[in-house]
Amino acid sequence: MTAMVNAMTVDVEDYFQVSAFESIIKKNQWATHASRVENNTYACLDLFERNQVTATFFMLGCVAEAAPGLVRDIVAQGHELASHGYSHVRVIHQNQTEFREDIRLTKKILEDLSGIAVTGYRAASYSICAQTPWAYEELSNAGYHYSSSIYPIHHDLYGDPNAPRLPFATPNGDLTEVPVTTARWVGKNWPAGGGGYFRLLPYWYSKTAINAVNSKDKAPVVFYFHPWEIDPGQPRIADTPLKTRIRHYSNLEKMQPKLEQLTNQFTWSRLDALIDLGNSTFKPQPIA
Ligand SMILES: [Zn+2]
């Protein structure tokens, strides 16, 4: 097995802020739901500390404003603080001006709270695509150095299976795009970077996929999950469609033990540490 350092990332948003609920819970109703993101993110920090993981936390600006102590603790514990936009609006639902204001506001909030430069961005639900040709140039102009906003798979809410699988220099602006990882088998891309797939499928599937990317592509994996995925006690949202219910609530109780296994069996670091921004590559890092 190739000993390689992979990238661990967390999208910091509350259980009711996810895109799958956006038609059921409007933003002006968010305040009526009990927030659990702060406690759940502290549980992620504990998990990482136990397993000697450093990670990148893509944080919503509105979550950061409500939990400034959490922002400072993420940075104090050696993790990377990065931007997930202000309030989880998909880029395809914004015009260029709205996107520009969103990414600049979020960067400023995170930097003011942490005192650290924020250079990474992840779009809500991997929503940078052909319909948003201005996005990378706007990110670059706003001072971001990389984006991790593509998951090259088939999915009804996100994903473009024809997008590049490995990091690339973006066509507009001075920016590196680092897609969430897929494994290539029988001419198709298969999810290897987490999301619901990690929680819903058996652990051996993710382990096999990560090993395949590390050994065949000789590339690090970019993996992601959400703090609400390790919270089986979260309140259940009423009137959700069956498909959403299955995706959001299945195997929540299995997620924490699975993550313990994953963080134990592989070596993980923050995303910015694995990117060579000078030439837009994603470098395998030797384990120190
Ligand atoms: Zn998100």
**Domain spans in the chain, listed from the N-terminal domain onward:** 5-282
Express as a percent the part of the chain with pLDDT over 70. Answer: 97
Is 2 a residue whose pLDDT tops 50? Answer: no
Instruction: Provide the pLDDT confidence category of residue 16 given band limits of 50, 70 and 90.
Output: confident
Residue 125 CA, ligand 1 centroid: distance in Å: 5
**pLDDT tens-digit profile of 79-134?**
999 999 999 999 999 999 999 999 999 999 999 999 999 999 999 999 998 889 99
The Å distance, Cα 90 to ligand 1 centre, comes to 9
Superfamily in which the 5-282 domain is placed by CATH: Glycoside hydrolase/deacetylase (3.20.20.370)
Separation of CA 54 and ligand 1 centre (Å) = 20
Comparing 22 with 180, which gets the higher pLDDT? 180
For residue 285, the model assigns a pLDDT of: 75
pLDDT at 258: 97
Average pLDDT score over the chain: 92
Q: How far is the CA of 288 from the centre of ligand 1 (A)?
A: 31
Q: How far is CA 80 from CA 71, 97, 198, 264, in A?
A: 10, 27, 23, 20
Span from the CA of 84 to the centroid of ligand 1 (angstroms):
7
Angle, CA 213 vertex, CA 211 and CA 218 arms, to 5°: 105
Comparing CA positions, the residue from 79, 2, 9 lying closest to residue 263 is: 9
State in Å: Cα 106 to ligand 1 middle: 14
